[in-house]
Structure 1
Amino acid sequence: MFAISRSLRLSRCLSPFGRGLSASSSPGPRTLVAIDFDRTIVEQDSYLAVSQLLPTSQRKELQDQIPKCGWLSFISQVLQRLHGEHKVNSASVGKRVRSLTAVPGMLRVMRQLARIPELELCIVSDANSFFIGEWLQAYAIECLFAGGVFTNPACVQASGELLVLPYQEQTDCDLCPSNMCKGSVMDELTCSGRYERLIYVGDSCNDLCAIKRLRQKDVACIRRGFELHGKMTAHGQELACSVLTWRDGHELEELLMPKIVA
């Protein structure tokens, strides 16, 4: 039932790029680098950035509801108000997303990784396909993510309003929101049989579930000074994988590349 419902949602809001798990162009053992989007690839949270198009009072009102209602409800209400009350169209939303600054050095390290024949990149994010697609297209790097983009599907409706739908509907995982369990995505990638090793790069609490699914031969790359890094004192002993911490893309490249080419 889950797979059918997700297929129906995706047919209504098609992603501008593939979801991954396509046939590999290179035989032999492969490594997948799965990367979060907000505060990992881009410096700012994309949902908060788009909410800045609202008047301050409305933005704060909706932000106060995030702990209770969640991020997907937050961005849905932001987009509804932008379109309905302020006549802000999807092009203006896309322009705001395209203006987001990359984490220093991240564009370079992603391009470097994508050049390695035995490696694929993918994105695993609780953002959405419209935001991520706009940003990747702005830098002409959609082609780097041969492993696909796993995120909430989004589309522009006939009215011009941008609609974001849940990636899934789940109640089994308490670490993740109901619309997306990143751990289940990692399980899907592991069980696909395509990859000998997984590397996960993230910064937030919702990445904890994903890295807890990694095996001893896998690697978690945790951004230092952010939410996930702060959780390691309490949860570090629960991880089977090796862990490295990084501040920006330059440091990530310096620490990660030797682990891949070794």
Structure 2
Amino acid sequence: MFLISRCFRLSRCLLGFRRGVSEFTPSGHRTLVAIDFDKTIVEQDSYLAVSELLPTRQRKELQDLIPKCGWLSFISRVLQALHGEHKVNSASVGLRVRSLRAVPGMLRVVRRLARNQEVDLCIVSDSNSFFIGEWLQAYSIECLFAGGVFTNPACVQRSGEVLVLPYQEQTDCNLCPSNLCKGSVLEELSCSGRYERVIYVGDSCNDLCAMKRLQEKDVACIRRGFELHEKMAAHGQELACSVHTWRDGHELEELLMPKIVA
């Protein structure tokens, strides 16, 4: 799994930070805070934001393919069209991602969590390493995610086009797309023996898969007013962990800090 972190351009910094925190807290006594990216750290879906660089008609035609082809195929076609037809290079794509607004208060809560020597932060996202890397660099917080960044790997080709590849190829999980099962990522992290407790923060239905892997001692934080929150009446009984809701980073900070220090 950590192969993806090595594909991430900031891996040297991330790995260095991971070595540093391990000196303070023994394995098995740490807390992992796993956070989704789109609509959890940033307000907008990063794939839709980048697609806005296309002409309106072309963008809508590609968006119509999402239910049939999936998000990874969608962004691949968007990036191909941007580079091949409109001569939009990776730098322009990166600038669009860097312009995404953070969820109010989220930068503060991430920085505060990262200061706790008993906490590892990680990102589990169906976005990609190029988009996430650009955004984290823009706010100089790339070194805060000592637990890793688990997402679809991406690279800039010599031509200047951004290429996004699947994190995995899976057929076992119906809640997640074939390219990334968040539940399998979280299960591997949970079973590593490194963490005493896991806190998962997300907003969408593929986050439900990860939350279903949480145990009674763990915590799921679901963003109110978004996809997963609207479906919790039907799925809440499937979770063994504690479940809390949040609206923005300020509310999330008030929710998490007593649990982190408890």
TM superposition score normalised by structure 2: 0.94
Query: By how many angstroms is 1:15 displaced?
Result: 1.3
Deviations, residues 24-62 of structure 1 (Å, cap 9, x unaligned): 232331000000000000000000000000000000000
Whether 1:192 and 2:185 are equivalent positions in the alignment is no
Code of the residue aligned with 1:52 in structure 2: it is E
For 1:15, the equivalent position in structure 2 comes to 8
Per-residue deviation, residues 100-136 of structure 1 (Å, max 9, x unmatched): 0000000000011011110010000000000000000
Letter in 1 for 2:231: K
Give the superposition deviation at 1:260: 1.2
Deviation at residue 192 of structure 1 after TM alignment: 1.0
Match of 2:57 in 1: 57
Bigger mean CA deviation after superposition, 124-133 or 13-22: 13-22
CA deviation digits over 1:155-184, x for unaligned, max 9? 001111100000000000000000000000
Taking the TM superposition and a 5 Å limit, the aligned residue runs for 1:98-109 are 98-109=98-109
Q: Is the 8 A contact 1:17 1:148 kept in 2?
A: no
Determine the C-alpha separation between the residues in 2 that align with 1:190 and 1:104: 29
Does the residue aligned with 2:244 lie in a helix, a strand or coil?
strand
What is the rounded CA distance, in whole Å, between the counterparts of 2:23 and 2:168 in structure 1? 29
Report the Cα distance in structure 2 between the residues aligned to 1:25 and 1:125, rounded to whole angstroms. Answer: 28
Are 1:17 and 1:149, in contact at CA under 8 Å, matched by a contact in 2? no
What is the match of residue 25 of structure 1?
A: 23
| Distance in 1 (alpha carbons) for counterparts of 2:100 and 2:33 | 22
Q: Distance in 1 between matches of 2:45 and 2:239?
A: 26
Q: Distance in 2 between matches of 1:217 and 1:26?
A: 23
| Alignment-derived partner of residue 44 in structure 2 | 44
Structure 2 alignment gaps of length 5 or more: none
Which consecutive unaligned segments of at least 5 residues does structure 1 have? none
Q: Provide the C-alpha distance between the structure 2 equivalents of 1:258 and 1:22, rounded to a whole number of angstroms.
A: 24
Rounded to whole Å, the distance in 2 between the matches of 1:153 and 1:91 is 17
Q: Secondary structure of 2:195's partner?
A: coil
In 1, the alpha carbon distance for the partners of 2:210 and 2:76 equals 25
Contact kept, 8 Å, 2:25 with 2:117, in 1: the verdict is no
Q: Is the 8 A contact 2:8 2:130 kept in 1?
A: yes
Tell me what 1:217 maps to.
217
Deviation at 1:14, TM superposition (A): 2.2
Segment drifting more, 17-26 vs 93-102: 17-26
The one-letter code sitting in structure 2 at the alignment partner of 1:25 is E
The answer for the alignment partner of 2:90 in structure 1 is 90
CA displacement 1:219-245 (0-9 Å, x = unmatched): 000000000101110010010000110
Percent identity between the two aligned chains: 80
SS at match of 2:7: coil
